[in-house]
Every structure is written in C-alpha cells, then in structure tokens.
A and B are shown apart, each in its own frame.
Chain A
C-alpha cells in the first residue's frame, strides 16, 4: 500500500513547493522533513498539505480518511515529521477504514 501512498504525498509536496516557492520540496523522498525541527513547512502550510493529501487519497484510493486523528496529535514521534512517517500513518488509517 505504501507504494501507492508515497506518490500521493510527493505530488502534494511538489504542488506545495511551487506555491510556497520552496524548490526543496520539488524532489521529495521518504526522508523529506515536513514539520518540526528542520521541517520545511510552517503550521499553516502543514494544514494545507494535510487537507490536500486527504482529498488526493479519497480521489485516488477511494477512501475518505481524517488525518487530524487524536492519535496523530498524541504520538511521541509526530507522524507529520517526514514524508515517510506520514505514509506509515496513512497506511494505518487506511487499513482501519
């Protein structure tokens, strides 16, 4: 499943990079830092990215998920730290939906 999730995250990151004028986001990989220390996104950009990814997941994989889950907010290691951790987290949500 992760092989389907990562391209969705990358596509959203590339769009965000264009919009924010951050070329670092144009070549994303699993280790690309999203949010937190050394993250490339501020809180508003993260919110926009998550909203975008939710809709891309719904369109491409046919499942409506909500990333603002209680667990996401309480985990020690934020699922929003890197593209890879976000993909892991989305994989869990999809397996439960």
Chain B
C-alpha cells in the first residue's frame, strides 16, 4: 500500500536517492531542500525551504497533510557538515551546523509528530553519523550536532511511543556524496580504517536500514541508533 513520505534534504545525496527509491515503489513523497527540485515525478512535491525556518516547515507539513490526509513516514535527513580544528572553528559555523542539523531536525520531528499523533501511527528516522561513536578529530561541531540528534531520537521515541510512533536513527559510514567531497582523502581513509568493514558506505546500505525501521513489522523497534560499517 502506498505511503506518504516526507524526506528532508531531498535535493541531492542520500535524500534524493531515498526519494527516488520510495517513489519507484509507488509511494507519495514530499521533499524539501534549499535548492530547486531535482526530481520531476507525478507523486513528488518539492518545497524549497531552509529546514530551520519554522514558519516554512509548519506551512509545508500543513500542505502535505491537507493534500494527502496524513504523513506515514518522516526521513529527517537534511544535514550539513563542517570539518575544522576546534581552535579554528568560527562560531558562525557552529550556529549554521546546529541550525540545520539540530533545529531543523527538531522542527520537522515536532511538526510531523503532531500529525502522526492524531493518526496514532507513524515512522520517523533521523540521521546521525559514525563521527559520533568514533569521536573524530576535526568533527567536534558536526559530531556534537549529531549527538544531539541521537538524544532527540531516544527521548522522542519514549514520548511518542504511546501514540504508535517509532523514532530511530541511522548512522551512515561515509558515502561518496558531496558532503564528504570536501574532506581530505587521508582523513576519509583513516576513518574507514576504524570501521569493522573497511569500505565506503553506499546509498543501498543506508536505504536497507531505513527500510527496516519503517517496516510495519518494526513497531517494537524504537529509540535505536544503528551505525553502518561496524563503527561504534
């Protein structure tokens, strides 16, 4: 049966791949990014917005609910990275990373959860990173923002469990997307060397975990963070 998905950060990378994958299965997808839409399909609607813009997010969630009668799945994927030594990290970078990764994830979580609470059902997947358990040097700010997402995930799972909503997170290993393009090759190699399975992650690896979390049979799986590649 077709489900209604909200996928943040669907303009590129993992977000775009997930949107295409779930569209191909006959689902309805509402996506968003700061950029123009990169998907042109009948069952896809794009909202050009900043995930930290509360009013824009509230309006988007309202429109999706009105158009489709509800929201079944939220893939809270939008995120930005920043790599820098603490001593040379500008405070603006901290604000920017936390605005997108923490505030953006929170606003979508809150707004979509309210829709799901009324339906007494829903699946929410947040996005963390292996940079949290690996405590990577140079990723203090990015890792801290994703550690906050993990905490939100665990507490949200408890608060929303009674409403039939599960909240989990996936922590991808580096996938060859634009997000990791800016990271020096030796840093990525060193990171991959710390994984149990030493290779880049793929979109399919990430989607496999998401599929598990959003499966109707996963109603007893909540508050979990699953890292890929054996990190953590």
Contact = CB atoms under 8 A, between A and B. Distances in A.
A64 B118 contact: no
B107 to A, nearest CB: 9
Given A44-B162, A66-B54, A58 B62 contact: yes
Interface of B: 54, 58-59, 62, 65-66, 110, 113-115, 117-118, 162-163
A44 B161 CA distance: 12
A48 B62 CA distance: 17
Interface in A1-59: 44, 47-48, 51-52, 54-55, 58-59
Contact of B58 (A47, A51, A59, A64): A64
A65 to B, nearest CB: 8
Contacts of B66: 58-59
B interface secondary structure, majority: helix
Given A51-B114, A51-B115, 9 more contacts: A44-B162, A47-B117, A51-B117, A51-B118, A55-B115, A58-B62, A58-B66, A59-B66, A64-B59
Contact of A64 (B62, B113, B117): B62
Nearest to A47: B117
A55 B111 CA distance: 10
* A interface, size bucket: 10 to 19
13 contacts: A48-B117, A48-B163, A51-B115, A52-B118, A55-B115, A58-B62, A58-B65, A58-B66, A59-B66, A64-B58, A64-B62, A66-B54, A66-B58
Interface string A77-94: 000000000000000000
Contacts of A44: 162
Given A44-B162, A59-B66, A66-B54, A54 B114 contact: yes
A64 B57 CA distance: 10
A87 B132 CA distance: 44
Given A44-B162, A66-B54, A55 B59 contact: no
Interface hub of B54, B62, B113 (most chain A Cβ within 10 A): B62
Nearest to A54: B114
Nearest to B117: A51
A25 to B, nearest CB: 17
Contacts of A48: 117-118, 163
B229 to A, nearest CB: 37
Interface in A57-73: 58-59, 64, 66, 68
A46 B124 CA distance: 22
A55 B118 contact: yes
Contacts of B58: 64, 66
A77 B25 CA distance: 51
Nearest to A50: B114
A94 to B, nearest CB: 14
Nearest to B63: A64
B57 to A, nearest CB: 10
B65 A55 contact: yes
B162 to A, nearest CB: 7
